[in-house]
Amino acid sequence: MAPRYAFLFAQAACSGCKACQAACKDRHGLSLGVLWRRVYEIAGGTWSREREAWVPDVFAFNLSMACNHCAEPICAEVCPTGAIHQRADGLVLIDGGKCVGCRYCAWACPYGAPQYDARAGRMTKCSFCAEDLDAGLQPACVKACPMRALEFGEREALEAAHGRSRAAFPLPDPALTDPGLVIIPHRDTSRARPRTAVVANAEEVGR
Amino acid sequence: MNERPLVAFTLLSQTAVGAFLTLGALDRWAATLAGESAARALTDGLLLAIGPVVGLALLSSLLHLGTPRNAWRAAANLRTSWLSREILCALLFALAGAAFAVLRWSGAGSAALRTQLALVAGASGVALVYAMARVYRLRTVPRWDTPLTTVSFFATALLLGPLAVGTGLVLLPGIPDELVRGPLHWIALVAAAGFGAEIAAAGRGALHGVRRLLLVAGVALCVALLLSDARFAPALVATFVVALAAQVLGRYLFYMEGLRRAL
């Protein structure tokens, strides 16, 4: 059986250097404003009082996110032209020639993976570096990570080793699309909620 | 906010569907009461006016596309995509409606064929409004994935369609008073129901508050129309304008809030 791939992201190991983001942009020659992989900086907390002293009680961690090549890809489900398809090995790819540029996939995807290329008038997204993968190489983002925070592999093996991902902020419920994403969570993910945490670099990641 | 073409597309096509169904009811009512020729005098002009509205709707849907020359592929995924189904319904509504209007205007074809075309157009119009609502009921967008989306889209058709027809009836010259008084009261009643549904479905926040005021003003105008001689043109036109303003604002908020995402 063909492997179904997944990304593995060790949140606590990520330093937020964005080498993955830049390597992806470089590898695929992405247009201005298009980021197939984005590093979200999640931050929250406030001052808290300890007797007579006010001490900072804050947290910050990163989330590197591309396309999770979901087992139930809602982007492919809703695409009106059938331009988005799932390969036999589970990779979800866009056929740019068929894309009408309606952006409906971007509305539907809860991970922000489909990115509109205004120059081409079409949707684009992470291909898991399918050509490199087929040639036995690693995806550019994984290859670039200096902290070994980002890995990839067969989904079943990664889930067996690290468990399945949960819906920690700001990630959506994985039951919606069954994403190929395994996260080793940062210790503060449980503190981050919509009201207590923000994406601190919202402008950078085009949110 | 770059979803203006979609605000136009959804509002115009919902108005067109509502107007087509209103004209159908009006036509059958007038034909029974005063004969076919009176019915035609009442509805023919307004039926033709739906054409440009649908044309404008389809045109604005193209404006939203990055690669319009691929638009012909947009109905290729009927198996799973409500967007494809929406496009199919819109084309069916436009083509059946246009064929019906041409046959009726030229007098060609049998009465049975014309009736069948009108029924196909009406049914695909209703299907279009339903499909349009389903397009937004994405399981990944909780703000859109509620029955309120469906309610609001049908309420828009019920509000803007009949009110557009009513406005046409009072503004067009040569339409006999005794024929329009009854229908205008019915239109006010349906519009009041539409306003009511939209008040119930309205969201929270300052701009929603402004919109709710518009909707309440709409209900008040409808009540005034019902209590008075509904042929009073300024009140009817005002009701239509209030409804249009409320729905344009509502649709803007709908897109703004639905597209505000976590990632």
Q: In this structure, is residue A96 part of a structural domain?
A: no
Q: Do B140 and A108 touch (CB under 8 A)?
A: yes
Query: Is A204 in the B-facing interface, judged by CB distances under 8 Å?
Result: no
Quick one: pLDDT at residue B232?
72
B197 token code pair: 């549904």
The 10 Å CB-count burial string (b at 16+, else e) for A119-135 is eebbbbbbbbbbebbee
Q: What is the dihedral of CA B6, B12, B13, B18, to 10 degrees?
A: 140
A contacts of B141 (beta carbons < 8 Å): 107-108
Q: In this structure, is residue A144 part of a structural domain?
A: yes
Q: What are the residues facing A56 on neighbouring strands? A: A47
Q: Do A170 and B262 touch (CB under 8 A)?
A: yes
Segments making up each domain of chain B, as ranges: 4-258
Q: In this structure, is residue A27 part of a structural domain?
A: yes
Structurally, chain A folds into a number of domains equal to 1
Name which of A78, A110, A199 is nearest B83 (Cβ-Cβ). A78
Mean pLDDT computed over every residue of chain A: 95
B205 token code pair: 């926040």
B153 token code pair: 């889209």
Query: Is A120 in the B-facing interface, judged by CB distances under 8 Å?
Result: yes
Q: Do B67 and A101 touch (CB under 8 A)?
A: yes
A contacts of B135 (beta carbons < 8 Å): 104
Region A79-101: mean pLDDT is 96
Q: In this structure, is residue A93 part of a structural domain?
A: no
CB pairs under 8 A between A and B: 101
Query: Please, are residues B174 and B35 in contact by the beta-carbon 8 Å criterion?
Result: no
Q: In this structure, is residue A91 part of a structural domain?
A: no
d(CA A152, CA A162): 13
The dihedrals phi and psi of A150, each to the nearest 5 degrees, come to -115, 125
Quick one: pLDDT at residue B233?
82
A147 token code pair: 């902290």
Query: Please, are residues A14 and A40 in contact by the beta-carbon 8 Å criterion?
Result: no
Region A116-129: mean pLDDT is 97
Nearest CA in chain A to B257: A107
Name which of B70, B80, B82 is nearest A100 (Cβ-Cβ). B70
Q: In this structure, is residue A84 part of a structural domain?
A: no
Q: In this structure, is residue A149 part of a structural domain?
A: yes
Q: What are the residues facing A7 on neighbouring strands? A: A152, A181
Expressed as residue numbers, the domain containing A160 is 5-72+126-199
User: What is the sign, positive or negative, of the torsion defined by CA atoms of B107, B108, B111, B113?
Assistant: negative
Q: In this structure, is residue A19 part of a structural domain?
A: yes
CA of B136 vs chain A CAs: smallest distance (Å): 9
Region A186-196: mean pLDDT is 90
d(CA A22, CA A25): 5
CATH classification (class only), B4-258? mainly alpha
pLDDT digits (tens, 9 = 90+) for A7-54: 999 999 999 999 999 999 999 999 999 999 999 999 999 999 999 999
Nearest CA in chain B to A114: B263
Q: What is the CATH number of the domain that holds A156?
A: 3.30.70.20
B135, B138, B144: best mutation site toward chain A, by most A Cβ within 10 Å? B138
ipTM, interface predicted TM-score of the complex = 0.92
d(CA B15, CA B26): 16
Q: Do B65 and A111 touch (CB under 8 A)?
A: no
A contacts of B263 (beta carbons < 8 Å): 40, 65, 110-112, 170-172, 199, 207
pLDDT digits (tens, 9 = 90+) for A95-117: 999 999 999 999 999 999 999 99
Q: Do A80 and B141 touch (CB under 8 A)?
A: no
Query: Is A122 in the B-facing interface, judged by CB distances under 8 Å?
Result: yes
Q: Do A80 and B83 touch (CB under 8 A)?
A: yes
Helix axes B36-63, B147-171, angle to 10 degrees: 130
Contacts of A105 (CB under 8 A, 6+ apart): A75, A76, A78, A79, A84, A114, A123
**Regions in chain B scoring below 70 on pLDDT:** 1, 229-231
Quick one: pLDDT at residue A151?
97
Q: Do A101 and B263 touch (CB under 8 A)?
A: no
Give the DSSP letter string of A61-85.
Answer: EEEEE-----SS-HHHHH-TTS-EE
Q: Do A65 and B140 touch (CB under 8 A)?
A: no
